[in-house]
Amino acid sequence: MTPTPGILIAIPAYNEAGTIAAIVGRVRDSLPDYDLLVVNDGSQDATGQILEQLNVRVAAHMCNLGYGRAVQTAIMYALECGYDALVTLDADGQHQPEQIESLLSEFKQEGWDVLIGSRYISARSYRGAPLGRRLGMQLFSVLVKLIIGRRVYDTSSGLKVIRHTVFEPLTHWHFVDFHAEAIVYLMRLGYRIGEFPVTVTERTQGRSMYTPINYFKYPLKTSMLVLLGIIEAALTRRRHRS
Amino acid sequence: MSLQGVLVLNLIALALLLWVLNLVRHGRLYVGYGVIFVIAALGTTLLVSVPWLQTTLTHVIGAVFPVSALTLLALCFIVLMLLYTLTQLTIVSNRLSKLVQELAIERAKRGGDAR
């Protein structure tokens, strides 16, 4: 396979000392030709020290800014360094780095602007997900369909391939988690977003960002940003026309 | 409003004025925010000391008693100040986030193996 230096693999990490070494190792083994960046989002455990030992390129936030800001840092880095595309994957080991190559093949072949590694596109259902999460995903999937007219099954997947054309719009304003709100915003701007089936394993170590309070906060915050995304996209389109 | 009420409110306004001026003098309150409280304190003094101003305000707001009109005005001021404070807090928070992100990117460009 020919080296593709134009692609950056980015892993946002917050308190992932238990999994980060393994995930970095797997990315290096399965994707040796791609550049790797870990965004350490102000971790308070040993994540920083482990990353130092691994001699990996790290963008270290001095304090915790949240998942959305960590992804945005990776996008800003990719934009400044002139990468053609960015692949984001979670640091908790749920995503299989070995599947990224097939994700990238689909991305290049179909010319997607954003390709989401989807857990649910094959089954077209949310079987196996916890009830709260299932309801949330159902809600945002339906919401995206109502607004865009096309179903996106896995709006909350952290495994994404993002083309360089999308970098700039994604740095303009702050998204909560680059989930439904970013999908709606980009689709309203006319970008092509697709889904590709991937398998996801359950988190075995560390803590999920979905705490009980987040189950209430997340849908409200995301719904508000979805609405603002529609308005923002309409204003951006109008600015471009005039 | 009774003379005692006018005196108490004027004393509170004077205390607020002195406190704000002291905070600005010691650099613990930005002069732009201080101005808002100075205006509020002077406005309160004017409103409670000039009876016909109170009557006019009560009629304009549609209240029955001058005290109700003043309370409503105070509530509006609190809500507006709260929103303004949160806006300023968000601006500072966004600036800080941007700074942290830029610093992280600059450091990442210089150190570590990209592969």
For residue B2 the two structure tokens come to 């009774």
Contact between A178 and A225 (Cβ < 8 Å): no
A3: confidence class by pLDDT, cuts 50, 70, 90? very low
Over residues A72-81, the mean pLDDT reads 95
Q: What sign does the CA torsion over A132, A212, A73, A230 have?
A: positive
Rounded to the nearest angstrom, the minimum Cα separation between B11 and chain A is 44
Give the alpha-carbon dihedral of A19, A24, A26, A32, to 10 degrees: 180
Pairing of strands A7-13, A114-118: unpaired
A61/B108 Cβ within 8 A: no
Contact between A152 and A185 (Cβ < 8 Å): no
A55/B113 Cβ within 8 A: yes
What is the C-alpha to C-alpha distance for residues A119 and A129, in angstroms, rounded to an integer?
10
Which segment of A10-24, A115-129, A136-150 scores lowest on mean pLDDT?
A115-129
* Domains annotated on chain A, with CATH: 4-241 (3.90.550.10)
Each residue's pLDDT tens digit, A165-212: 999 988 877 777 788 888 999 999 999 999 999 988 766 666 666 566
pTM of the model: 0.83
Is A54 in a helix, a strand, or coil? helix
ipTM score for this prediction = 0.84
**At a CB cut-off of 8 Å and minimum separation 6, what does A168 contact?**
A79
Chain mean pLDDT for chain A: 86
For residue A225 the two structure tokens come to 């940003």
B104/A62 Cβ within 8 A: yes
A2: confidence class by pLDDT, cuts 50, 70, 90? very low
Own/partner contacts of B63-66, CB < 8 Å, gap of 24 or more, are B66/B1
Q: Which amino acid is at A99?
A: Q
What is the C-alpha to C-alpha distance for residues A240 and A233, in angstroms, rounded to an integer?
11
CB neighbours of residue B15 within 10 Å: 11
| Mutation for testing the B interface, residue in A7, A11, A37, A65 having most B CBs under 10 Å | A65
Contact between A12 and A64 (Cβ < 8 Å): no
B48: confidence class by pLDDT, cuts 50, 70, 90? confident
Over residues A96-116, the mean pLDDT reads 93
Contact between B105 and A76 (Cβ < 8 Å): yes
Question: In chain A, helix, strand, coil percent, each to 5?
Answer: 45, 15, 40
Contact between A95 and A198 (Cβ < 8 Å): yes
Rounded to the nearest angstrom, the minimum Cα separation between B115 and chain A is 5
What is the C-alpha to C-alpha distance for residues A71 and A86, in angstroms, rounded to an integer?
10
What is the C-alpha to C-alpha distance for residues B110 and A16, in angstroms, rounded to an integer?
24
Q: Is B110 on the interface with A (CB under 8 A)?
A: no
B100/A65 Cβ within 8 A: yes
Q: Out of B108, B113, B115, name the one closest to residue A59 (CB).
A: B108
What is the C-alpha to C-alpha distance for residues A182 and A169, in angstroms, rounded to an integer?
10
For residue B4 the two structure tokens come to 């005692």
